[in-house]
Structure 1
Amino acid sequence: MDSQDAVPASPHGAAVEAEGFGVKGPRGWAFRDVGFRAEPGSLVALEGPSGSGRTCLLLALTGRMKPTAGHAEVGGLRLPRKMAAVRRISALGHVPGVSELDPAFTVLEHLRERALLQRRYDGSVRALLRSPAQRTAAARDRIEAALTASGLDLDALPKAERTSVRDLERLEALRLSVALALIGEPRLLAVDDTDLKLSDTEREEAWALLRSVADAGTTVLAVCSEAPADALRITTSTTTAAKATDTGAETEAEPEAETGSETEDAPADTEGSPTETEDAPADTEDDTVDNTEEGAADALAETGRA
């Protein structure tokens, strides 16, 4: 191939774009009419009160919950049609009930397990043909790189790498969950409850961590109750549509119209299979009832495997 015809390398992080995006549960909309655009390597904060559909939006944007209205694109992959492909380029950090740390495992056990799963399911044929020593060295390098990126200092833990998860502080557990996600070198990292039960100082450290991951090129989606000033804020509410506010230099956002939800029961489709799905038509009915916490809870309860 002539050098002039070579395809330029794409950025590592995935651009994320949504238009009229929504998920509806049996008792109402989990979220609706979300619209924004985030460039690769952006820090996107999904901000709002508990029950306002933040986690459902996080799961839908990572291909783990099927939307029922509108569409989104992650790294050029259109949702809901390319849900399986989006799952392959994204990774979940801490998401309660979906992607959680095992309190009985040690930090080392978690890291080894994730590296083994990564090698088994996501490795190339060439990687599988390496000698055991080469595979072990490659896994060790991935773990060390992920620990460095997450800022988790094993030597500072009570029992170093053999510390049980149940003995970790909240911020340490967050760092571990991020490290585990980064072992797979995802283009999109998603983290739930980023600032839950953290002091002001710990909250600043948590955002500094996610900001450093984004600065290194990985796009970050983070659910929170209060977003930092430099993030692209997508604000969800139980009474209005998600509103995007662009406060960073690298992103664009579009304001959203007010929204509501229907009272008529309609089951939400959630991801339960690795096969790809067809685009869902946008909901065009004129709704008058606001989003409900029950709608978000129902949609989340029907989520398929992570």
Structure 2
Amino acid sequence: MDSTPRGAAVTAAGFGVKGPRGWAFRDLDVTAEPGALIAAQGPSGSGRTCLVLALTGRMKSAAGTAEVGGAALPKHMAAVRSFTALAHVPGVAELDPALTVGEHLRERALLHGRFGASLRTLLKPRRERRARARALVDGALTASGLDPAALPKGVRTAVRDLERLEALRLSVALALIGGPRLLAVDDTDLKLSDDERAAAWALLRSLARAGTTVLAVCGEPPADTAGVVLVRTGRAAPDADAPGDGGHDEEGAADALAEAGRA
């Protein structure tokens, strides 16, 4: 993994995503420098996941403007997808509970080697490519704070046997293998104890300090919000009382996610 990743700046103004039955979120503004930690706060159903998918080029926006890493959305969604990564997004980027930690890591390294590597890398001898893949995995594990040796069965530990924080670290490690400029993490604090939540935010802060821009969905922002770009989803728009045209609609968010899953 690149030891000096280039984070992606994120800007959005009046940004919104709409489903067939209403807005998932609307009139949202974001300004974040490269290497920032962005905390997207809101209750379940407030469009948090839709925001993550829209800002990583995986869901088309319906209002406002946005730019990620110099690429405008929704015009350059493919370009944004190429340098962003998702961690733990239910229904989109999930761990397979039946697979082991080692199987997940090998699969992701293989996919990156085939589809994410440059032509120069692909033309190198197999031994060099394998060594590079191992280095990428080791770097991602170190950055995520996941030590396979500390797991009950090492890399043979099944995902279903991981603690919630360990699973989050694995999801982050898998996303980091591709060296993204923007890492988006959904449900960051879901089902975590206070100590685990603090550890999760410490992890995300460390990634941001190392240069990767981090967008983290949460129910509650970190206790220490110094330096954190705080974005709240589910805010009401001026015409929020109009049926199907408010600033936030749980049905709209659900519809938008369903459409993304079918795309």
Q: TM-score range by the shorter chain?
A: over 0.9
Q: Which structure has the greater CA radius of gyration?
A: 1
Q: Which residue of 111, 114, 117 maps to 1:117?
A: 111
> What residue is the counterpart of 1:72 in the other structure?
66
Aligned-pair distance for 1:303? 0.5
Cα displacement string for residues 164-215 of structure 1 (whole angstroms, at most 9, x for unaligned residues): 0000000000000000000000000000000000000000000000110000
CA distance in 1, matches of 2:72, 2:243: 29
Instruction: Give the Cα–Cα distance (whole angstroms) in 2 for the partners of residues 86 and 70 of structure 1.
Output: 17
- Deviations along 1:208-250, one digit per CA (max 9) or x if unpaired, are 001100000000000000012232110112x525xxxxxxxxx
- In the alignment, what sits opposite 2:229? 232
Change (3 A) 1:30 1:294: same
Q: Is 1:132 paired with 2:126?
A: yes
- CA RMSD of superposed structures (Å): 1.7
Q: Deviations over 1:127-148 (max 9, x none)?
A: 0111111110000000000000
Structure 1 residue 160: deviation in Å?
Answer: 0.6
**Counterparts of 2:242 and 2:210, CA distance in 1:** 42
Pairs within 5 Å for 1:189-228: 189-228=183-222
Gaps of 5+ in 2: none
| TM-score (normalizing by structure 2) | 0.94
TM-aligned CA deviation for residue 291 of structure 1? 2.1
Given residue 232 of structure 1, which amino acid in structure 2 is its aligned partner? V
Aligned to 1:294: 251
CA contact (8 A) 1:189 1:219 kept: yes
Aligned partners of 1:296, 1:34: CA distance in 2, in Å? Answer: 14
Report runs of 4+ in structure 1 exceeding 6 Å deviation. none
* 1:116 aligned partner, one-letter code: L
1:18–1:36 Cα contact (<8 Å) kept: yes
Q: Taking structure 1 as reference, are residues 88 and 68 closer, same or farther at Cα in structure 2, changes over 3 Å only?
A: same
Whichever structure has more helix as a proportion of its residues is 2
Q: CA deviation at 1:70?
A: 1.1
Does residue 50 in structure 1 map to residue 30 in structure 2?
A: no
- Contact 2:96–2:159 (8 Å) recurs in 1: yes
Alignment match, 1:273: none
Aligned residues with identical type, % of pairs: 68
Which one-letter code corresponds to 2:127 in the other structure?
A: A
CA distances 1:33-80 after superposition (whole Å, capped 9, x unpaired): 111210000000000111110000110000000001112100000000
Task: Report the Cα distance in structure 2 between the residues aligned to 1:226 and 1:57, rounded to whole angstroms.
Answer: 16
TM-score relative to the length of structure 1 = 0.81
Contact preservation (8 Å) 1:23, 1:31? yes
* Contact 1:29–1:261 (Cα < 8 Å) also in 2: no
Q: Provide the C-alpha distance between the structure 2 equivalents of 1:219 and 1:44, rounded to a whole number of angstroms.
A: 8
Contact 2:141 2:147 in 1 (8 A): yes
Aligned residues: 257
Decide whether aligned partners of structure 1 residues 86 and 189 sit closer, same or farther in structure 2, where only a CA change above 3 A counts. same
> Does 2:90 correspond to 1:96?
yes
Residues 19/157 of structure 1: CA separation in 2 closer, same or farther (3 Å cut):
same
**Structure 1 unaligned regions, length at least 5:** 1-9, 242-257, 265-286
Deviations 1:233-271 (A, max 9, x none): 10112x525xxxxxxxxxxxxxxxx5637536xxxxxxx
